Chains A and B, each alone.
Chain A
Amino acid sequence: MEESQSVAIEFQKVVKKFGNFTAIHNANLKINDNEFFTLLGPSGCGKTTLLRMVAGFEDVTEGNILLFGQKFMHLPPNKRSVNTVFQQYALFPHMTVYENVAFGLRMKGWSKGNIDTTVREMLDLVRLTPFAERKPNQLSGGQQQRAALVRAIAPKPKVLLLDEPLSALDLKLRQAMRMELKQLQKETGITFVFVTHDQEEALAMSDRIAVMSEGVIQQIGKAQQIYEGPKNEIVAKFIGETNILDASVVGLNKEETKYRIAEDFIITGESVEGLTKNQNVKILLRPEKIRITPLNVNATALRGVIEESMYLGTDTEYQVKVSGGVILKIRDQNGFERRELISLGSHIGLSFSKDSIRILSS
């Protein structure tokens, strides 16, 4: 399926150095046409650099980037049919919203009539028509955001680059804009490359995500793949809450694998290929996959003592001390099963299914 789609942007062995500092290590990445693709990572991981190289604001030190199979790295930014939505919007302060949206079209040499029709269409699309004659500083943050968005979309770029466009908005607005962005991508059919450090944003909007850290693309995949099956510790730690446990393999057979985490703390997971006995591994266990059970139901169940609890509304996060002094994070939903919080110091039982245990490659 993925192979049949045309590739909008392809990074081929891209390396970027700033002096002695290597910002991007050998990046290989294919972004498909009509895809909402997200580059996710902590600040300074090189995601913005990757974007700026596509836009033409940074050179590529080694390797190449192709736009629909064509070389375009030799072109200056104003000759590239990609547009950017900047983090602080960069709306021209001396121009009205209308003039801002018209700017790119005017520079492209469109006819007056064409410009007018397109600008009005664009302003309509994001409900900014009543604000067309306002200057950017007379708009709210959300309106500025939408103006910057249509300014970049109006010239009908082949690819739209979005550099943390939501980070300046407050939470409620940010959540509303997520929906709007995703809808806009579907309506326009333009490939979106979205840069963010906010994992929730990435999970909510993207068709696919590339997780980056320290200039390296760690993993590429759909939201669910990345959350449920992180390749390594970096990805696991960056996306969502995690318990990462050092363990050694103590038992292997076709159905299951047994891991020892501490002296009398042995857990069972599905069988995994390529493991050998006594091998040291890192195990990922998401806090929401662990169930708190009454102590006496199953004598073989894991036991623990509640050390800490944090009430978060929809759910509660507990820190539970299990045998061997290991602390596990547990997320317990405050749904219809849970009537009241479990008090600190309570002894509880813990259970989880075999398939919630993941082995991280180091």
Chain B
Amino acid sequence: MTQVYKQKRAFDSLRIWLLLPSWVTIGIFLLIPVGLMLVISFMTKEFRGGVIWELSLAAYDQFLFDRGLFGDEPPTIQWTYIVIFLRSIVQAAIATFFCLLIGFPTAFFIATRDSRNRTFWIFLVTVPYWVNLLIRTVSLKFLIRDNGPINEFMISLGLISEPLGLINTNLAVQLGLFYSYLPFMVLPIYASVERFNFTFSEAAADLYADKWSTLRRIVLPIVAPGIAAGCILVFIPSLGAFLAPDLLGGAKNFMIGSLIEEQFKGNAGNWPFGAAASMILLTMVLIALMLYTRQQAKSELT
């Protein structure tokens, strides 16, 4: 009895040591930066970048209210940044939708191949990731610009008479996001479809379900966690992305990521405002995740 108890004590203290590295990592790379960001968002801006260590709500105020050029007019709602936020959410949602549309069949296809060939297909999906995201986005810009290969090829075939004008549109941004994050959709769905027991779909077919009903009523509900994980993994980085909107969207199609990036770039920035925008973004994402987890927990209970 005491022997067991002693062993348990020893194990407990060992466990603390084993957990320490992950706590330190989380602390250094997550808690400290986010905490710093939170603090800066409540500070006063310095005009050449950096902060003056004086408490101020100016950053949040600037995000929400317009007080005129000199800050002395009665406050009205500042729509500029709210619109950027809404646009970001819509862009990210559309990118997520298309990733799901293409990613699910892709993942399903790979997961139902011969197990020897699966690694090859997965390898193909991850190959683009060997190239830096910036380079890939620039390449995409090069491909779709007005005098780029796609337009020139289609003009030379006589399919179109003038360039499609793809570049600097919302569509270009969505395409960029889609291209950047597609594997994040494919991989988790692949993982859950691969674990899917296909006896279930046999059982469904045996019980008179056609292919469509089997997919909708049996396969989708069972692999839903993988789909949810994929959507989260695509939606969140899309929301904060700045490369694709910067390079492909032009000035009209500004997204939160670009807005935040601007605030920390060179001397023109506004650190507290950038930090405040980041905190607002983070809060929104956390609320969305919380709602999702609560939904998950509820559906598991019933």
Interface membership of chain A positions 83-94, coded 1 if the CB is closer than 8 angstroms to chain B and 0 otherwise: 110101010111
Are B209 and A107 interface neighbours, CB within 8 A? yes
- Does A37 count as interface, using CB distance less than 8 angstroms? no
Give the contacting residue for B197; candidates A84, A90, A103, A151; CB below 8 A. Answer: A90
CB proximity to B under 8 Å, residues A59-110 = 76-79, 82-84, 86, 88, 90, 92-94, 103-104, 107-108
- Does B57 count as interface, using CB distance less than 8 angstroms? no
- Does A269 count as interface, using CB distance less than 8 angstroms? no
| Across-interface contacts of A79 in B (CB, < 8 A) | 208
A120 to chain B, nearest CB (A): 18
- Does A57 count as interface, using CB distance less than 8 angstroms? yes
Are B200 and A76 interface neighbours, CB within 8 A? no
Interface membership of chain A positions 41-73, coded 1 if the CB is closer than 8 angstroms to chain B and 0 otherwise: 000000000000001110000000000000000
CB proximity to B under 8 Å, residues A288-335 = none
* A114 CA to B213 CA, complexed, in Å: 21
Are B206 and A77 interface neighbours, CB within 8 A? yes
Are A107 and B207 interface neighbours, CB within 8 A? yes
Number of interface residues of A (CB under 8 A): 23
* A84 CA to B199 CA, complexed, in Å: 11
Are B202 and A77 interface neighbours, CB within 8 A? yes
- Does B218 count as interface, using CB distance less than 8 angstroms? yes
Interface membership of chain B positions 210-222, coded 1 if the CB is closer than 8 angstroms to chain A and 0 otherwise: 1001000110011
- Does B286 count as interface, using CB distance less than 8 angstroms? no
Are B202 and A86 interface neighbours, CB within 8 A? yes
* A86 CA to B210 CA, complexed, in Å: 19
Residue of B nearest to A161 (CB): B206
- Does A155 count as interface, using CB distance less than 8 angstroms? yes
B230 to chain A, nearest CB (A): 19
| Across-interface contacts of B207 in A (CB, < 8 A) | 78, 83, 103-104, 107, 151-152, 155
| Across-interface contacts of A107 in B (CB, < 8 A) | 204, 207-210, 213
| Across-interface contacts of A108 in B (CB, < 8 A) | 208
B221 to chain A, nearest CB (A): 5
Give the contacting residue for A88; candidates B199, B208, B210; CB below 8 A. Answer: B199
Residues of B in contact with A (beta carbons under 8 Å apart): 197, 199-200, 202-210, 213, 217-218, 221-222
